[in-house]
């Protein structure tokens, strides 16, 4: 965790430096804060019930003749996992929780209308820095893990941003693992009535809702009139 914190602070310092000195180059510096709503596909539980933190700095470099396009890189602290608080039947009356803390580096390509909305796609590499799994005797019988939890996650991202005010953006992001985190044998023969056992692969499934502040993005109101309707950079 200390290595990630050091990297996070170094990245943030570089970001602030870029945001203060890169007016001509138009390298944009930003920081995002929000929440992850997550589930783990393949754990036989359903619903984006695990709530976690999503926070970190970003740099973004516009390119192209009219700056419609940009590429961004982030360094995030991102919490994923699964949570179930119990239900009414023999299986779902038991609680279960998996918390996964990742140091994550998303890289995305964005297309913007150059004023107030942008969409992007990309990939992310996440290094697992900590995890905690809370189960019980029933789940220990029901889930028989064939492999340990992977120490990294590679995922695909779809991203939508809407400008709220000045340099503040709202961000909705969907993220899904490209590789399984582990393999689990689900022994459904212990259910009543018994069912056929299954082998499943587990994947992180994440919806992120964030706010992003872009430090050195020029306000629309301060642009020349003919540019005001044409660009946000």
pLDDT of residue 168: 93
Q: Which domain holds residue 12?
A: 2-228
Q: Is residue 233 part of a domain?
A: no
Summarize pLDDT for 28-84 with one digit per residue, the tens: 899 999 999 999 998 888 889 999 999 999 999 888 877 888 999 999 999 999 988
Q: What is the CATH number of the domain that holds 210?
A: 2.40.160.20
> Which three-class secondary structure string do you get for the chain?
CHHHHHHHHHHHHHHHHHHHHCCCCCCEEEEEEEEEEEEEECCCCCCCCEEEEEEEEEEEEEECCCCCEEEEEECEEEEEEEEECCCCCCCCCCCEEEEEEEEEEEEEEEEECCCCEEEEEEEEEEEEEEEEEECCHHHHHHEEECCCCCCEEEEEEEEEEEEEECCEEEEEEEEEECCCCEEEEECHHHCCCCCCCEEEEEEEEEEEEEEEEECCCCCHHHCCHHHHCCCCC
Q: Is residue 102 part of a domain?
A: yes
pLDDT of residue 34: 98
Summarize pLDDT for 1-12 with one digit per residue, the tens: 455 555 655 655
Across 100-114, 167-181, 208-222, least confident range: 208-222
In total, how many domains does the chain have? 1
Summarize pLDDT for 188-198 with one digit per residue, the tens: 877 777 788 88
**pTM above the 0.85 mark?**
no
Q: Is residue 129 part of a domain?
A: yes
């Amino acid at each position: 965790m200390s290595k990630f914190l050091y990297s996070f602070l170094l990245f943030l310092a570089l970001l602030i430096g870029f945001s203060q000195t890169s007016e001509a180059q138009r390298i944009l510096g930003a920081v995002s804060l929000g929440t992850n709503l997550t589930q783990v596909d393949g754990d036989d539980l359903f619903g984006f019930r695990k709530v976690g933190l999503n926070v970190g700095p970003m740099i973004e470099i516009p390119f192209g003749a009219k700056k419609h396009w940009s590429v961004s890189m982030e360094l995030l602290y991102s919490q994923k996992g699964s949570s179930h608080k119990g239900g009414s039947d023999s299986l779902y009356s038991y609680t279960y929780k998996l918390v996964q803390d990742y140091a994550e580096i998303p890289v995305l390509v964005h297309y913007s209308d150059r004023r107030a909305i942008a969409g992007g796609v990309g990939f992310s590499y996440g290094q697992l820095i900590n995890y905690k799994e809370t189960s019980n005797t029933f789940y220990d019988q029901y889930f028989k893990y064939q492999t340990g939890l992977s120490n990294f996650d590679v995922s695909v991202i779809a991203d939508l941003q809407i400008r709220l005010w000045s340099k503040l953006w709202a961000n909705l992001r969907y993220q899904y693992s490209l590789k399984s985190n582990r393999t689990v044998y689900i022994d459904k023969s212990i259910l009543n009535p018994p069912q056929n056992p299954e082998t499943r692969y587990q994947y992180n499934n994440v919806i992120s809702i964030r706010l992003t502040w872009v430090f050195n993005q020029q306000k629309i109101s301060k642009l020349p009139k003919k540019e005001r309707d044409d660009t946000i950079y």
